[in-house]
Structure 1
């Protein structure tokens, strides 16, 4: 199943976790609520990613954006639904994220809401200062925005938050999250 078909037919994003020998299917938000450990991202990287994702797409942090990205980074590249796969970026995708997160940490000095918005506005057009050995900042912004929109609004619940009727061509099965 490709990314587009998944989002068109599923109605929900579910991640699989193995905890104590038991498989759980959780939404990224539920994984975040349960404080499940990250597999690939460090806690500092996950926090930075969540703050940036939420500043770009309000609600991304609450939707479990960092858990979604981490889960996708831990999956085989053929199975990931990250936009990077569809843009032809070579795997492993952590090699895209980690240098950008390092550059972000090094160049983001004003972490206030206004400072973060100014930083994001700059990175949509140019590489910020100290943005070395990372993918171009405007491309990194585009990738984060795309994946944050999917996690935040690419589900039945996301459509409801926007007060838009969810009109799937094929109605997804109702699933309950553990």
Structure 2
């Protein structure tokens, strides 16, 4: 569901940045609007950056593809157009998504023909977590077969984290970043 307000509720910081803010932004990554809002509280930004470094590192039990399936589907289900657009623009190619898969992530279903069994297990788990806040035994078993036990744990945490991110970007009313699109865009 698109956001009605066009103006962010908390304005992202604009340069020039003081030293503490600049350090926080350096840790977070590119100075996108969300990071410039978090940088209003540098201690918060540092904590987010440290968490993000783990989940975007090689230490995660999920592959880049699996991680992006979780993030893209979660943000689409939550109506977080800002975050969905960023991830599709930045990671869709790295994750190996084709146009049909990108469309399915945004407005489709885990049973769409573009998904193999492993991708389908990840997407079914994300959809079920979103709808019920739990996983059935069958979904758990299929997911564990697809990503392993450590991957299941990482998926649960990443999915929960991106629910929090989705709540944040929606409530802040952040507009799309340049060069990004909404999940329902062709």
> TM-score, structure 1 length as denominator?
0.34
Which one scores higher on RCO, CA 8 angstroms, separation ≥ 6? 2
Q: Which has the higher strand share?
A: 1
